């Protein structure tokens, strides 16, 4: 059933079930954790020894399972649900600046 114009989809809460959080696989949880740390698809792929295309497939499945639409929503959800934590020593450097 299509959504009405302006309707919003509420993201699902991460809850542990038989297959993991909302049916997420272990690999999908790894992808979420790396994405929430700010890694690009290419960096995630290198870290997990998979291709960037595979990362895109994982993200597509994650978005569908959690009812979200983009990377920002996924990162916020991961932090809010305690999947990743902010370290007090975490610093942010904009691209091109060190």
Domains defined for the chain, CATH in brackets: 19-80 (1.10.10.10)
- Its pTM stands at 0.68
Looking at residue 92, its pLDDT comes to: 57
Looking at residue 30, its pLDDT comes to: 93
Lowest-confidence range among 5-19, 59-73, 78-92?
5-19
Do the beta carbons of residue 74 and residue 62 sit within 8 Å?
A: yes
Burial class (CB in 10 A: 0-12, 13-18, 19+), 8: exposed
Q: Which residues pair with 14 in a beta bridge?
A: none
Residue 70 has pLDDT above 70, yes or no: yes
The per-residue pLDDT for range 19-61, each reduced to its tens digit, is 555 788 999 999 999 999 999 999 999 999 999 999 999 999 9
């Amino acid at each position: 059933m299509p959504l009405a114009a302006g309707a919003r989809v509420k993201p699902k809460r991460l809850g542990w079930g038989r297959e993991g959080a909302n049916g997420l696989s272990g690999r999908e949880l790894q992808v979420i954790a790396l994405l929430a740390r700010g890694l690009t698809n290419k960096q995630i792929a290198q870290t997990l020894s998979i291709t960037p295309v595979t990362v895109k497939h994982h993200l597509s499945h994650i978005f569908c399972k959690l009812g979200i639409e983009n990377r920002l929503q996924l990162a916020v959800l991961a932090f809010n649900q305690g999947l990743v934590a902010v370290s007090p020593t975490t610093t942010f450097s904009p691209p091109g600046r060190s």
